[in-house]
Amino acid sequence: MRHGVLRGAGRGKVVLRVRSSQPYTAELTAEQLRTLAEVARKYGSRVVHTTPRQAIEVPDIPEELVGEAVAELERAGLVAGASGRLTRNVFACSRWCLYNSIPVAELAEELNRRYGEVEMPAKLTISLSGCSFSCSRSRTSDIGVIARTVIRVEREKCIKCGLCVNEPLGCQVDALRVSKEEQVVWSRERCAQCGFCSNVCPASSITAEKRGFDIYIGGGGGFYPTEAVLFREFVSADEVLEEVDRVVERYRELAEPGERLFRVVERLGVRAFG
């Protein structure tokens, strides 16, 4: 079967899996939503499912009409794929999220462009998180990229406004303490390095010293829940692309046919990837 066409529950009916190629996977335009609605109405059973990796599925499409349905979706920048041995949708969190340390939308777009249509030894999942809270599950994916910010605290500049500690914008992990009597105190151990306080602070008492990405590899969910291991620390966006290229290249060299990346990491260790 062609990519993105999956076996469904009914006889002669298939499930069509698409992902957005414009602008990237986690976002849809109003026009794309309308096209999906139209395709589900015309070819499917008036149902559209959103998958756990930000792809979209339209089930119950008669096999003989798949070509037509795909053509209609492609005109709206929705491509069939993300199945079988193709790289899954590059999973990315929202570019509109307030907690972004570094928004990952553009990085996701680039990675999708590079790997979205490429066959791998087995299913490959890449996830990108704009902050260390990692809504996009980067620590249980084959390749996970997580942004973080190291802050600098200049205590004497603190005006004791409390924005960095109080709801709704305050620190999520209680790493900061401020009171009417006391200027800000930062607990380095507790800090999750999301960097949000540095965006919030009006007095430049807390600023972002440096921002970068950590890369994790070898995580997985499903049959074998596995936590990924740290592969590279604090690299730039350009370096992320280089490093992911390297990991994918090594994976293709090292893997047996059908072997997931996390299996290769298990078998040969993270060092095998350079």
Partner 1 sequence: MGDEGFRFELPKAGIIKGVRAQDIEVVGEKVVNVRVRAKPYSNTYTPEQLERVAEVAERYGSGKVHLSPRHNLEIPEVGSRKLTEALQELFAAGLQAGGSGTSVRNIFTCADYCPMRVRSVRELGAMLSELFGDMPLPNKFTVSLAACPAGCSRPWNVDIGIIGVAELLVEPERCEQGCDACVEACPVDAVTLKGGLRIEQERCVRCARCARACKSGALRMARTGFRVVIGGKEGRTVAFGQEIAEMAGDYEVIELVDRVIRQYRKMARRRDGKKYERLAEVLQRMGGAEAFMKG
Q: Rule CB under 8 A: which residues touch partner 1?
A: 7-10, 15, 25-31, 33-34, 36-38, 40-41, 46-52, 54, 56-57, 59-60, 91, 93-98, 100, 132-137, 139-140, 168-169, 172-175, 177, 190, 192, 221-223, 225, 227
User: Rounded to the nearest whole angstrom, what is the least distance from the CB of residue 47 to partner 1 in the complex?
Assistant: 4
Of the candidates 46, 53, 40, 44, the residue with the CA atom closest to the CA atom of residue 13: 44
Q: How far is the CB of 100 from partner 1 (least distance, A)?
A: 8
- Tokens 């607990």 locate to 187
CB 152 to partner 1: min, Å: 21
- Give every CB contact of residue 136 below 8 A, 6+ residues apart in sequence: 91, 92, 93, 127, 128, 129
| CB closer to partner 1, 51 vs 236 | 51
Nearer to partner 1, 21 or 140 (CB): 140
Minimum distance of partner 1 from residue 67's CB (angstroms): 20
**Strand, coil or helix: what is 146?**
strand
Nearest residue (CB) to partner 1, 123 versus 232: 123
| DSSP letters for 233-251 | EEE-HHHHHHHHHHHHHHH
Q: At its nearest, how many Å lie between partner 1 and the CB of residue 205?
A: 19
d(Cα 113, Cα 16) in Å, to the nearest integer? 20
CB-wise, 122 or 247, nearer to partner 1? 122
Closer residue to partner 1, CB minimum distance, 98 or 268: 98
Which residues are CB-neighbours of 67 under 8 A, at least 6 positions away?
Answer: none
Hey, what are 141's tokens?
């994916």
